[in-house]
Structure 1
C-alpha cells in the first residue's frame, strides 16, 4: 500500500514504516531564529532537513545542534506536523495524493489527548505545502508491539513498552486489550541516560553533554576525546543492571504481571537499556520482541492497518 505510512512519534527517535521499509531519525528540532515573511518565496534550495514552519525556519533530524529536548507532550504536539513532514519527505511519499493514511500511536499517558492530537496532524502545512490525510489511525503505544509479536501470545500477556520518556504497560487477554492493569509513567530510558550524563559530566566537566550525545556514547560503549577512545562499558553495564532491577521491582508491585501472566513481552527502544539475562532470570515468563526493538510499534501499526484495508478490499 503506497498510500499508507506508519510513524511512531517517539520522544527520542521518530520511527517510520513505508512500503514495509523501516527507518528512523532523531526527534531533534532546532529553530534557526530568523523570522520569515509569510509570503516569502522559498524557491531557493535549502538543506534537505531545513523547513519553513509557522513563519520560521527549523532544522529537523540528524546533525541538529542545540535541539529542543522533547520531554513533554506539549512540545511533541507543537512539532508533530514538522516531524511528520520530514518523515514523509524521507520516505519519498507522493504528498499530492488525496488518499494518504497515517497510522500512529500515543502513550497511555496521553490517551485523553487523542482527539486534539488528531486535529493537530490532520493537515500538515510546511514549506508552503499543505498535506491533508484522508484518514488518521491512532493506536495505544505498545499495541503495535503486541501486533508485531509473531510468537504465541494466548492467555494473559503483558507488553512492557520502554520508550525514551515513557514506560507503557498494557495487558491483553487472548488478544483483547484490558483496561484493568493498564498504566504508564515517565520512567523510560531517559532515567539511565540522565545518569550517564551526570557520570560523563563529572569525568569531563569542560564538555557539555546532551542527551543525544550520551545516547551515542551508551550505544558505542566509549567516548572519544581528542582522538582517544575512552572505554565506558563497565559504567554502562552497571547502569543497565540498576535500571533493570528498578523496572522489575516496580513490576513486582503489580502482582498480575509477574505471577499471573502467561508471557511478559519487553520491547521499545528502551529494551536496549536492559540487562537481558537479568530480566530473564528475574521474570520467568519474559520474552523480547524481534530486534530492532525500537521498530516493533511502527511495524505493528503498519501491518495492522495494511491487513485491515486488504481485508476490506477482498470482501
Structure 2
C-alpha cells in the first residue's frame, strides 16, 4: 500500500490580494516501507505538502490517497474510512517540543491514545513502549516534567507522543532543526532504529543534503510549489542545475568529487556517502603517476 498524491494543488487565501499558490499539480507516490526525503528552499511548498499527507489540509484540486482512501472524502460512507486513513499518518512538526503541555512526560505521551479510547494497563503499555523506542527509560522519566528536559530530550518526548498512536506512516518536518551535533546524530540513529523495528514508512523533510544522502532511498525536490525532481538520491544529486534552481547543493562529498574531476583527477562519482568518496579518491590517486 502507499500514500499517493494525484495532481495536488493548493492556494492560500484565494481570491484575495494575498493569494499564494503553494502547491501546483504535484503528483507522486510514497511506497510502503520507503524512506523519502523532501527538500527545497524556504517557501518551496514542503510544509504545505506534508500537511496534506494526513488531511490537515485538503487540496483545492487533485487527491491524496492513503492506502487507496481519499482523505477528503466527505460522503456519508467515506467519512469514517477517511478518518481511519488519516490516523495511519503520524505528523511530527518542526520544533515539536513547543507542543508539550502536560505536567508529566507520561501524561503528555498518553494524551493522544487516551483520546482514541485507550485506558488502563493498555494505555500504560503503549506509553512505555513509545518511550523506550525513543530511548527514554519509563521508570526514570515518566513522572518528570517535560519542561525540565534538554532540547533533544523534549523532542524525543514529542515524537514518542506521535509513536504512541501507532502510525503506519511517520512524517518528520525537519526533526533535527536546532539540535547540537550529538543530539542530531542521536535522533537520526533513533529514526533508523524505528524504521528497522516497526517497518515504518518515513517522510523526512530536511535541508541537510548529507542527512538525505545517508538516510533516504528516494528524494523529492520542491521548487516554487512544483515537484522539480523525484528520484533516488544519487540520481537527484547529479542534476546540479535543478538543485541550484531549488536553492540546494549536492552533498559536500559529491561536490568535492566534482571539483576534483574538474581539475583532471579521474575520480568516480557513483557514491554519495563519505566512505564512498574516500574510497573513490584513494582509487583515483592510485592511478596517478
TM range (shorter): under 0.3
Structure of greater relative contact order (alpha carbons < 8 Å, 6+ residues apart): 2
TM-score (norm. length: structure 1): 0.26
Question: TM-score, normalization: structure 2?
Answer: 0.28
